[in-house]
Chain A
Amino acid sequence: MTNVLDIKDLEVSFKSDGKEVKVVNGISFSIKAGETLGVVGESGCGKSVTSLSIMRLIPSPPGRISGGQIYFNGENLLDKKEREMRKIRGNDISMIFQEPMTSLNPVFTIGKQINEVLLLHYKMTHAEARKKSIEMLKLVGIPRAEQIYDSHPYQLSGGMRQRVMIAIGLACEPQLLIADEPTTALDVTIQAQILDLMRGLKEKTNTAIMFITHDLGVVAEMCDRVVVMYSGEIVEQADVDTLFNDPKHPYTVGLLGSLPKVDEKIDRLYSISGQVPVPGSVEKGCRFAGRCDHVMPHCTQEDPPLFKMKDGHDARCWLYDPVHGRKEEAKDGQTTLGREGS
């Protein structure tokens, strides 16, 4: 399979109070055709900024992409002119946002908003666009599609609005769909409907999906591979099975341990102490060092690189360095770290 998206050493900075702060600090990952990649992390880890960078939608100023490349089908998106980008947005790459109410325009009908992308990217008459739009509404499971076509967003429930957003996102059959917390604002039963819909559509259209979320349960169900971000860096990446069953980075282990489980009763949750550092406040060393239970003197001295665990599984942690890592800990790191998680 070929890579649809290849991000290399992406850096994004924002200016605040006259200082430039890096909020995304050299991240690299790729997405293959037809693959669903989960990007997880807590608020402020840079996951949404990364997705906006791919679309070249970082508000500038104050933000700016300060380094790296974003290859989409082998072409660097950062070299594109704004006019060329406009052809790609909504057509080859499209995006679904978290809040379906604020991302739909309240004064236009649903039909008009789906037609908009079609008329912009395809040579279509209005009648053809209408036909295609109604087809899209049916595809995402909206009953009475002809009637909904003429409705306004306020007349629909949250779940229906998110279906409309997905219909707009998929109207031009994009190669890459970026879904930024698409089910966070929805109730569980509606979330289950939407996830089921996205899974079905992916099988039909073979669209690659970049799924940004903070919900690890959703990741476990939807994604093939996962990237864990912390404070603007990728701290771990692996296929979904490895990540959940053999996590290596103390942050990933902590995150999985802090989840309350439905199927078992635990007396006390594992909790990561402290909070996410303010961007730019950690000057050297690992950004997680201040909250890590396994911190070693070397961690505060030098920023760890990504260490390879096995094919396709990397972790950014000095524990796995043959020189600096505690040898005994690195050897049975799995058992030591694993215990907290369970």
Chain B
Amino acid sequence: MGKPLLDVKDLKIHFPQKKGVIKKKVTYVKAVDGISFTVNEGETLGLVGESGCGKSTTGRGITQLVPTTDGEVLYEGTDIASLSKSELRTQRKNMQMVFQDPYASLNPRLTVEDILAEPLKAHGVKDKKERRKRIEEMMDVVGLNRSFIRRYAHEFSGGQRQRIGIARALILNPKLIIADEPVAALDVSIQAQILNLLKDLQEDFGLTYLFISHDLSVVRHLCDRVAVMYLGRMAEIGNTDKIFENPLHPYTQTLLSAIPISNPRQKKERIILQGDVPSPVDPPKGCAFVGRCPKAHERCHDERPELQKMDEDHYVACHLYD
């Protein structure tokens, strides 16, 4: 694997919530509460976890779509959070996002050409012919028929819209693509088409992906490394095969055991968790998972576990392994 492209250090993203009669009491939703990870050039890092664990907020924090509270986001060594607005704009050329809902993330009143021209205009491609040429090339790359260039986004099916979304992200030749649940809204047969497309594009253009997903089968299929998040913190991170074959954190173990297997002959031991994810406003003092963990002991209530190295490229934040 290549050198680190993105280095996230102790990232915190807190959202203030004003409460009380005169809105003076402020509490914080600790959506992301001190996570660190690295994405190396040319690899795919999967960011997984359940709703509300902060995985999407992390993605948005990296591109500065939401302001970060604390910590560093280093892209090729530069801290993104310290950049001025115009510097950030230039930097964004290198990191683009693909969103979950292809119905909501494309403007239905723009044609494919308008949608794909926007990033080019924003980044100074003034010649109309040049823009047209790049748009047509990009349509070929993502498998959209060139003759659709004047069609409106609402005329396309979900899978084709997601291809437009991918084309929009790729048209500026970024190095890093942050894909936030790009296949979650698609049917199985279309999902397979888009996953194959993402894989081909990575090979052809040497892209680096941060792939945010709740679907562990998809993550296993696509990602080289996986980071498991729970309630704004990192539970386990490492090589995909190591995590899927030898999950160490009790949360990762539960998550993996909960996936339905598409083979009726295969029965497996399932760990059923009690209760729900606690509120990120008032997370447990010790380990975030303590309230639902089948293996919790006294220390877990008081002391927050830090990531510790268990094996080459396999880290876990759990007191069981101290």
Residues of A in contact with B (beta carbons under 8 Å apart):
42-43, 157-160, 187-193, 195-196, 214-221, 240-241, 244-245, 254-263, 265-266, 268-273, 275-276
A269 with B262: CB separation less than 8 A: no
- Place the interface of chain B in its size category: 35 or more
Bound state CA distance, A75 and B110, in angstroms?
Answer: 52
Bound state CA distance, A268 and B270, in angstroms?
Answer: 28
Can you list 20 A-B contacts (CB < 8 A)?
A43-B187, A160-B276, A188-B259, A190-B50, A196-B270, A217-B261, A217-B262, A219-B262, A220-B260, A220-B261, A241-B265, A244-B262, A244-B265, A255-B189, A260-B215, A260-B221, A262-B256, A265-B241, A269-B192, A275-B159
B280 to chain A, nearest CB (A): 13
Bound state CA distance, A257 and B244, in angstroms?
Answer: 21
A190 proximity list for chain B (CB < 8 A): 50, 276
Interface hit among B69-77, B127-135, B193-201: B193-201
Say which residue of A42, A245, A265, A269 sits within 8 Å of B196 (CB atoms): A269
B190 with A275: CB separation less than 8 A: yes
User: B188 on the interface (CB 8 Å rule)?
Assistant: yes
B187 proximity list for chain A (CB < 8 A): 42-43, 214, 276
With both beta carbons as reference points, the residue of chain A lying nearest to B195 in the complex is identified as: A269
Say which residue of A157, A221, A262 sits within 8 Å of B216 (CB atoms): A262
With both beta carbons as reference points, the residue of chain B lying nearest to A273 in the complex is identified as: B193
Bound state CA distance, A270 and B222, in angstroms?
Answer: 14
Say which residue of B214, B260, B262 sits within 8 Å of A187 (CB atoms): B214
A221 proximity list for chain B (CB < 8 A): 260-261, 264
B157 to chain A, nearest CB (A): 5
B307 proximity list for chain A (CB < 8 A): none
User: B51 on the interface (CB 8 Å rule)?
Assistant: yes
Given A188-B255, A244-B264, A262-B256, 4 other A-B residues pairs in contact with their CB atoms under 8 A: A193-B272, A220-B264, A258-B192, A275-B159
A256 with B192: CB separation less than 8 A: no
A265 with B221: CB separation less than 8 A: yes
A189 proximity list for chain B (CB < 8 A): 50, 254-255, 258, 273
**Which B152-172 residues sit within 8 Å CB-CB of chain A?**
157-160
A268 with B199: CB separation less than 8 A: yes
Bound state CA distance, A190 and B274, in angstroms?
Answer: 9
B263 with A244: CB separation less than 8 A: yes
B276 with A218: CB separation less than 8 A: no
Residues of B in contact with A (beta carbons under 8 Å apart):
50-51, 157-160, 187-193, 195-196, 199, 214-218, 220-222, 241, 244, 254-265, 270, 272-273, 276-277
B316 to chain A, nearest CB (A): 18
A217 to chain B, nearest CB (A): 3
With both beta carbons as reference points, the residue of chain A lying nearest to B156 in the complex is identified as: A275
Bound state CA distance, A33 and B290, in angstroms?
Answer: 42
B50 proximity list for chain A (CB < 8 A): 187-190
B196 with A262: CB separation less than 8 A: no
A43 proximity list for chain B (CB < 8 A): 158, 187
B187 to chain A, nearest CB (A): 4
A193 proximity list for chain B (CB < 8 A): 272-273
With both beta carbons as reference points, the residue of chain A lying nearest to B51 in the complex is identified as: A187
Sort A-B residue pairs by CB-CB distance and give the 10 closest, nearest first: A217-B260, A258-B192, A260-B221, A192-B258, A42-B187, A271-B192, A187-B50, A269-B192, A272-B189, A260-B217
A272 with B192: CB separation less than 8 A: yes
Residue among B214, B215, B254, B258 with most chain A CB within 10 A: B258
B273 proximity list for chain A (CB < 8 A): 189, 192-193
Say which residue of A42, A157, A158, A260 sits within 8 Å of B195 (CB atoms): A260
B188 proximity list for chain A (CB < 8 A): 42, 214, 216, 255, 258-259
B99 to chain A, nearest CB (A): 18
Bound state CA distance, A28 and B202, in angstroms?
Answer: 45
Contact A261:B220 (CB < 8 A) given known A189-B50, A221-B264, A275-B190: yes
A270 proximity list for chain B (CB < 8 A): 192
B241 proximity list for chain A (CB < 8 A): 265
Bound state CA distance, A220 and B264, in angstroms?
Answer: 5
Bound state CA distance, A143 and B273, in angstroms?
Answer: 14
B218 with A260: CB separation less than 8 A: yes
A188 with B258: CB separation less than 8 A: yes
Bound state CA distance, A126 and B114, in angstroms?
Answer: 61
B196 with A271: CB separation less than 8 A: yes
B244 proximity list for chain A (CB < 8 A): 262
A288 to chain B, nearest CB (A): 11
Say which residue of A257, A271, A275 sits within 8 Å of B157 (CB atoms): A275
B277 proximity list for chain A (CB < 8 A): 157
